[in-house]
């Protein structure tokens, strides 16, 4: 058994490292969030609003998580050309998104605990002042959400291999976006709770809204953990791109069985691929490369063609006949 191996990289600078626009906007979001965090925590203590105070503390965690997102962008940019990163530094950003999602789970737990505590032991609230600060907080959150609006890329390369329903996200940016969206949600719930308490005396709305917010934040966080975790663990063989590669080989070279296939993502829109096939004829890695060359998502391909004994016997016989002919 022998193998012809052809590693192939389509572009010199194909991998995604950093996102300058997202990094700059995230820096602005960190600054605005930190300012509003101080305002809400101070106002929450002064006006005795659990919803407002909780929102302020949540903002402190979000400011830390947003700062982590900025650090991930900076690290990806700094080490973009480092020889130790064989497939680029994009996964630093994914790791930042994963860590931010863990922060979101912690924030949801804190929201739930504080809300239950205040539901059991309610305290009077200065509604007018608290409502004013909550509205201001919502405005800041909406500005941050606009800065970090999710940059999902709908990416297709023709009818043959369209990535149906699959979007290539900047997962670090998505994590930052979810943090500010969580802040906006908690601010909105705080405003509803404060108006309900002021107009109808429903003081219980304040902690109940906190519990509802904690549930939604948990759902978002778990979804982000799953998505980033799959990328970090290279658990993406179920992606449409795997079927595209299989179908292309089956259609173009139906007599050539695939014996091994590995795919993993190395950028927002790029995958590395190791493909092994078994062949009896003179099939070369170049033939396989030609079949896959127009699939833009494949940034790095390693092809292995395994030949059995029967094929090798015929190959050596042909070489022997050629040598005999030349000797004549």
Tell me the pLDDT of the chain averaged across its residues.
75
- Per DSSP (E only), the strands in the chain are 2-9, 153-154, 167-168, 258-267, 270-279, 298-307
Domains in the chain (CATH in brackets) are 2-10+238-327 (3.30.300), 20-232 (1.20.1510.10)
- What pLDDT digit, counting tens, does each position of 186-202 carry? 778 878 888 888 888 77
Q: Of 224, 216, 190, 194, give the one whose Cα is nearest residue 57.
A: 190
Is residue 56 pLDDT above 80, yes or no? no
Tell the burial category of 87 from Cβ atoms under 10 Å away from its Cβ (0-12, 13-18, 19+).
middle
pLDDT score, position 166: 40
Least confident among 1-5, 21-25, 103-107, 306-310: 1-5
pLDDT at residue 310 greater than cutoff 70: no
Counting every residue written for the chain, the total comes to 328
Q: What CA dihedral angle connects 253, 255, 258 and 263, to 10 degrees? A: 10
pLDDT band of 225, cuts 50, 70, 90: very high
């Amino acid at each position: 058994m022998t193998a012809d191996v052809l590693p192939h990289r389509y572009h010199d600078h194909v991998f995604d490292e950093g996102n300058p626009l997202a990094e700059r906007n995230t820096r602005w979001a960190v600054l605005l969030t930190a300012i509003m965090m101080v305002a809400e925590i101070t106002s929450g203590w002064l006006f005795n609003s659990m919803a407002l105070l909780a929102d302020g503390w949540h903002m402190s965690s979000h400011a830390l998580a947003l700062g982590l997102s900025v650090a991930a962008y900076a690290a990806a940019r700094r080490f973009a050309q480092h020889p130790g990163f064989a497939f680029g530094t994009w996964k630093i950003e994914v790791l930042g998104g994963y860590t931010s999602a863990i922060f979101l789970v912690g924030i949801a737990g804190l929201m739930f605990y504080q809300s239950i505590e205040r539901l059991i032991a309610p305290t009077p609230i200065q509604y007018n002042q608290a409502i004013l600060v909550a509205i201001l907080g919502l405005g800041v959150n909406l500005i941050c959400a606009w800065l970090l609006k999710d940059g999902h890329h709908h990416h297709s390369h023709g009818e043959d291999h369209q990535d149906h329903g699959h979007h290539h996200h900047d997962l670090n940016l998505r994590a930052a976006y979810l943090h500010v969206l969580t802040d906006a949600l908690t601010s909105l719930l705080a405003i509803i709770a404060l108006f309900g308490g002021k107009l109808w005396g429903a003081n219980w709305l304040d902690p109940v809204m906190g519990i509802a917010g904690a549930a939604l934040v948990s759902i978002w966080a778990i979804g982000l953990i799953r998505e980033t975790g799959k990328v970090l663990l290279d658990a993406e063989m179920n992606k449409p791109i795997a079927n595209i590669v299989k179908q292309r080989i089956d259609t173009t070279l139906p007599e050539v069985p695939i014996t091994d296939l590995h795919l993993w993502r190395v950028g927002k829109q790029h995958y590395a691929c190791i493909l092994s096939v078994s062949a009896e004829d003179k099939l070369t890695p170049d033939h396989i490369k030609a079949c896959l060359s127009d699939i833009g998502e494949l940034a790095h391909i390693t092809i292995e063609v395994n030949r059995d004994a029967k094929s090798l016997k015929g190959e050596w016989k042909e070489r022997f006949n050629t040598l005999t002919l030349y000797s004549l």
